[in-house]
Amino acid sequence: MSKIKIGIVGYGNLGKGVEMAINQNDDMELVAIFTRRQPEEVNASCKVEHMSDIRKYKDVIDVMLLCGGSATDLPEQGPELASVFNTIDSFDTHAKIPEYFASVDDAASKAGTLSLISTGWDPGLFSLSRVLAESILPEGNEYTFWGKGVSQGHSDAIRRVEGVKNGVQYTVPIDSALEKVRSGSNPEFTTREKHLRVCYVVAEDGADKAKIENEIKTMPNYFADYDTEVNFITEEELKANHSGIPHGGFVIRTGKTGENTKQKIEFSLELGSNPEFTASVLVCYARAIYRLAKEGKTGAVTVFDIPYGLLSPKSPEELRKHYL
Amino acid sequence: MSKIKIGIVGYGNLGKGVEMAINQNDDMELVAIFTRRQPEEVNASCKVEHMSDIRKYKDVIDVMLLCGGSATDLPEQGPELASVFNTIDSFDTHAKIPEYFASVDDAASKAGTLSLISTGWDPGLFSLSRVLAESILPEGNEYTFWGKGVSQGHSDAIRRVEGVKNGVQYTVPIDSALEKVRSGSNPEFTTREKHLRVCYVVAEDGADKAKIENEIKTMPNYFADYDTEVNFITEEELKANHSGIPHGGFVIRTGKTGENTKQKIEFSLELGSNPEFTASVLVCYARAIYRLAKEGKTGAVTVFDIPYGLLSPKSPEELRKHYL
C-alpha cells in the first residue's frame, strides 16, 4: 500500500510535533518541510525546502500540514496553499474563523482541493465535545476549563514587565469550581472563580520584586480579573522545572432528561506537551482529508464535517468488529 | 420548517425515554408508537398503533427508532423494518455486530433506506472515544471502566437465587484503579481489580441470609471473579433508594508523543438514567440519519460514519461561528 505523503509548512514547535507524530503512523510518509529560513540552516529528519519552492511539490504531496501561527502566517498561507494542496491547519483566532473559512473555502473550491481548518484540541476536540454534548442534552449547561497549562500570551506579558528577566504563567482551573459544575448545580462564575493564574518569575539582579509582583497582579486584561500568584525563582529553577509546555482542560455539560433526571458528559485532556498533542490531532485528520479528497470532496471543512471512522488507519470492518 | 417525523418501535424504558427526548427537540415530532401489546392498553403522549399496522406509515415517518432488546427483538426487527423505513437502533450484543450490520445493510441497501445500528453510549459514545483517542495517540493504552451503575443482567442473576425476593446490583469502578490509569503507568488489571460489585438484596421471610450471600458471591461468570458486597435491606428501602437506573463510566487513553511525552484523553459519563440518556443519543442521531437519507445515502452505517455536525439542529455556519 502506498503511504500518504505529507508536507509540513513551518518548523516551530508544532511543525516538529508533526514530524514526530508521523513517525508513529505507518501509513504516512513525511516528504519535506518548507521554511522561510535558509533550508541548509534547518536540521530535520527529512528534506528541507525553501517556501519559494513549495509549488514544485504540487503532484507529490497528498496533504500539506500548515504549522504557522494564526496571527499573520495562516491568514495568508491558508488560502494561498489551499489553491495548490489539500491542507490542514490549526487556525485558532476564534472571532475570525468564519472569515478565514470563507477565504480558504473559496480558494480550495476553485482549485478542486480540500482543506480542513481550525483543528487541534481547542478549536478541535473541545469544539466536537461541545457540539456532541449539546446535541444529546439540549437542556443543560456547558462549561470549559483550561489547564493546568502554560499560556504563551500571559507568559509573554510577564516578560514585558520591567525588571523581569524571564517568566512562565500557568492557567490553573479551580478545583472547587470544577466540583460545583460536576454536581450539576449549574453555577454561574465570575472570571476569578474559574481559573487561577500562577506565575514563575526570574527577576533581574537588583530589581524591585514587590513592584514587579504588583505590576503583574494589576495588569488589565491579563491578570487583574484573576487571583494571581507570583513566585520568584532562579533562572536555573525555571529551566529545570518550567521548560515544558503542558496544557489541557475540561469540557463538561450537565443537563436534564425526562422528568428532571441529571445527566453529565465530561471530556478532558491532560497534555504533557500542547504542541505535540496538537500535532498528533493534525496528523490523524490528515488521513481523513486524504481519504475525502480521494472521494472527490473539495472546499473547506471543519472537524464537524469529518466522521471519526476516517481518522483511524483501521478499516470500517475492523472498527465495527473491535471498537463498537 | 417541517419537522422530522419520528416513530418509536417498542415502549419499554428506552421507548419512553425517546418519547421524552423528542419533547426537548423542536425540530422533531413524534408521530406514533408501535407495540405488540393491544394499543388501547398503552398510555402514551401520542398515537399508539399495533406493530401489524406499521407499514401503513411508510411514507409518513422519516426515521423509525427501534427500542426493542438486542437478544430477540432487534435481530428480527432490524432488517425487517430497514426494508421499509430509515431506522436507528441500539443493538449491543458486541460479538454479533458484524453479522447484524450485514443483515441490516442488505435490507436497507435493497430498499434504498438508511439504517444506523448500535448507537447509544456503549456501543456508541464510548466506541467513538476509543477510535478518536487511538487515532490521535497510536502509542498508548486504553481502559474502559463502567459504573457506578445498575447492571440489569447481574440484578436478574441475584433475583434467581433461592430465598431472594428482590435485588439490585451496582457495578462500581475502583477508584484506585482509575487513579493508576490516569497516572499513565499503564497498569495491567485482573477483573477483580477494576470493578466492585455491590448488591442490595431483599430476602424472603425466614430465608438463610448467609447462604444467599455465599451463593451470590461464588456465582460463576457473574460474581466469582469480583469482590462482591452483599447488603440485605427491606423492600421499602429498595424501592426508596434503588429504583433508579443510573449508569456511566470512563474511557481513558494514556499515550506518548515525541520523546516520551505523556498525554491523556478522558471521556466520562455520569447518568441519572441509563435508558433516558441512551434515548437522547438515539434521538440526536435521528437528525443525522434524516439528513443523510435526504442526501441519498443508503444501507447500514455506524456512529463511525456520522460527522458530529449532523447531530446538531444548528447550521454549519452557526457551528463554525459559535462552537469552534
Record: contact B271-A287, CB cut-off 8 A: no
Q: So what's the pLDDT on residue B258?
A: 96
C-alpha A195/C-alpha A199 separation (Å) is: 13
Q: So what's the pLDDT on residue A206?
A: 95
Q: Read off the pLDDT band of A272 (50, 70, 90).
A: very high
- H or E element in which residue A114 lies: strand A114-116
Residue B1 has pLDDT above 90, yes or no: no
- The mean pLDDT value for A286-299 works out to 98
C-alpha B138/C-alpha B230 separation (Å) is: 41
Q: So what's the pLDDT on residue A216?
A: 97
List, as residue ranges, the binding site of A for substrate: 146, 171, 197, 247, 274
Task: Please report the residues numbered 227 through 246 in chain B whose beta carbons come closer than 8 angstroms to any beta carbon of chain A.
Answer: none
Q: Which of B299, B305, B302, B291 is nearest to B110 (CA)?
A: B299
Residue B108 has pLDDT above 90, yes or no: yes
Instruction: Give chain B's domain count.
Output: 2
- Look at residues B239, B254, B272 and tell me which one is the last residue of a structural domain: B272
B102 in A contact zone (CB under 8 Å)? no
pLDDT digits (tens, 9 = 90+) for B42-95: 999 999 999 999 999 999 999 999 999 999 999 999 999 999 999 999 999 999
Looking at the structure, do residues A232 and A209 belong to the same domain, yes or no? Answer: yes
Q: What percent of chain B has pLDDT over 70?
A: 100
pLDDT digits (tens, 9 = 90+) for A102-128: 999 999 999 999 999 999 999 999 999
B266 in A contact zone (CB under 8 Å)? yes
- The mean pLDDT value for A291-309 works out to 98
Residue B178 has pLDDT above 80, yes or no: yes
Closest residue in A to B129 (Cα) is A308
Record: contact A277-B258, CB cut-off 8 A: no
Query: Could you tell me which residues are beta bridge partners of residue B202?
Result: B166
Looking at the structure, do residues B117 and B141 belong to the same domain, yes or no? Answer: no
Cα Rg for chain A, rounded, in angstroms?
Answer: 22
C-alpha B38/C-alpha B29 separation (Å) is: 23
- The mean pLDDT value for B305-321 works out to 98
Contacts of B221 (CB under 8 A, 6+ apart): none
Query: Could you tell me which residues are beta bridge partners of residue B294?
Result: none
Q: Read off the pLDDT band of B28 (50, 70, 90).
A: very high
Q: So what's the pLDDT on residue A267?
A: 98
Looking at the structure, do residues B267 and B130 belong to the same domain, yes or no? Answer: yes
Q: So what's the pLDDT on residue A48?
A: 98
Chains A & B: contacts with CB separation below 8 Å = 205
Q: Read off the pLDDT band of A35 (50, 70, 90).
A: very high
Q: Which of B39, B48, B40, B41 is nearest to B19 (CA)?
A: B48
Q: Read off the pLDDT band of A163 (50, 70, 90).
A: very high
Looking at the structure, do residues A260 and A133 belong to the same domain, yes or no? Answer: yes
Q: Read off the pLDDT band of A72 (50, 70, 90).
A: very high
Looking at the structure, do residues A168 and A247 belong to the same domain, yes or no? Answer: yes
Looking at the structure, do residues B254 and B129 belong to the same domain, yes or no? Answer: yes
A139 in B contact zone (CB under 8 Å)? yes
Is-cis flag, bond preceding A148, omega within 30?
yes
Q: So what's the pLDDT on residue B198?
A: 98
Q: Read off the pLDDT band of B224 (50, 70, 90).
A: very high
Distance of CA B276 to the CA centre of its chain: 9
* Contact indicator for A104, A96 with CB cutoff of 8 Å: no
Looking at the structure, do residues B134 and B237 belong to the same domain, yes or no? Answer: yes
Range of B10's domain? 4-122+275-323
C-alpha A39/C-alpha B63 separation (Å) is: 57
Q: Read off the pLDDT band of B123 (50, 70, 90).
A: very high
C-alpha B313/C-alpha A131 separation (Å) is: 10
Q: Read off the pLDDT band of B246 (50, 70, 90).
A: very high
Looking at the structure, do residues A180 and A251 belong to the same domain, yes or no? Answer: yes
Record: contact B320-A304, CB cut-off 8 A: yes
Residue A95 has pLDDT above 90, yes or no: yes
Q: So what's the pLDDT on residue A138?
A: 98
Closest residue in A to B272 (Cα) is A262
Q: So what's the pLDDT on residue B292?
A: 98
Chain B residues near residue A131 by CB distance under 8 angstroms: 308-309, 311-312, 319, 323
Q: Read off the pLDDT band of A258 (50, 70, 90).
A: very high
Q: So what's the pLDDT on residue A297?
A: 98
CA atoms within 13 A on the CB side of A64: 32
ipTM of the complex: 0.97
Q: So what's the pLDDT on residue B252?
A: 98
C-alpha A8/C-alpha A15 separation (Å) is: 6
Q: What percent of chain A has pLDDT over 90?
A: 98
**Cell of residue A12, nine digits:** 516551530
Q: Read off the pLDDT band of A181 (50, 70, 90).
A: very high
A138 to A255, A260, B180, B247: CA distances (angstroms): 7, 13, 34, 20
Looking at the structure, do residues A72 and A129 belong to the same domain, yes or no? Answer: no
Closest residue in B to A281 (Cα) is B136
Record: contact A277-B307, CB cut-off 8 A: no
A178 in B contact zone (CB under 8 Å)? no
Chain B residues near residue A97 by CB distance under 8 angstroms: 320-321, 324
To the nearest 10°, the Cα dihedral for B111, B113, B116, B117?
-20
* Mean pLDDT of chain B, nearest integer: 97
Coil, helix or strand at residue B322: helix
Residue B214 has pLDDT above 90, yes or no: yes
List, as residue ranges, the binding site of A for NADP(+): 11-14, 35-37, 67-70, 90-92, 119-123
Looking at the structure, do residues B50 and B170 belong to the same domain, yes or no? Answer: no
Residue A197 has pLDDT above 90, yes or no: yes
B269 in A contact zone (CB under 8 Å)? yes
Q: Read off the pLDDT band of A74 (50, 70, 90).
A: very high
Looking at the structure, do residues B186 and B253 belong to the same domain, yes or no? Answer: yes
Q: What percent of chain B has pLDDT over 90?
A: 98
**How near does any CA of chain A get to the CA of B139, in Å?**
7
Q: Which of B47, B24, B156 is nearest to A138 (CA)?
A: B24
pLDDT digits (tens, 9 = 90+) for B135-159: 999 999 999 999 999 998 999 999 9
A224 in B contact zone (CB under 8 Å)? no
Distance of CA B59 to the CA centre of its chain: 28
Q: So what's the pLDDT on residue B269?
A: 98
* Contact indicator for B300, A324 with CB cutoff of 8 Å: no
CA atoms within 13 A on the CB side of B104: 30
Record: contact B316-A304, CB cut-off 8 A: yes
Q: So what's the pLDDT on residue A299?
A: 98
B145 in A contact zone (CB under 8 Å)? no
Looking at the structure, do residues B265 and B319 belong to the same domain, yes or no? Answer: no
Q: So what's the pLDDT on residue B196?
A: 97
C-alpha B228/C-alpha B23 separation (Å) is: 40
* Mean pLDDT of chain A, nearest integer: 97
Q: Which of A215, A224, A272 is nearest to B261 (CA)?
A: A272
Q: So what's the pLDDT on residue A321?
A: 97
Q: Which of B11, B12, B1 is nearest to B245 (CA)?
A: B12
Q: Which of A320, A321, A322 to mutate to test the interface with B (most CBs of B within 10 A)?
A: A320
Residue A27 has pLDDT above 90, yes or no: yes
A311 to A27, A290, A314, B37, B67: CA distances (angstroms): 12, 10, 9, 44, 30
Residue A230 has pLDDT above 90, yes or no: yes
Residue A1 has pLDDT above 90, yes or no: no
Could you tell me the pTM of the whole model? Answer: 0.96
C-alpha B206/C-alpha B244 separation (Å) is: 28
CATH number of the structural domain spanning residue B31: 3.40.50.720
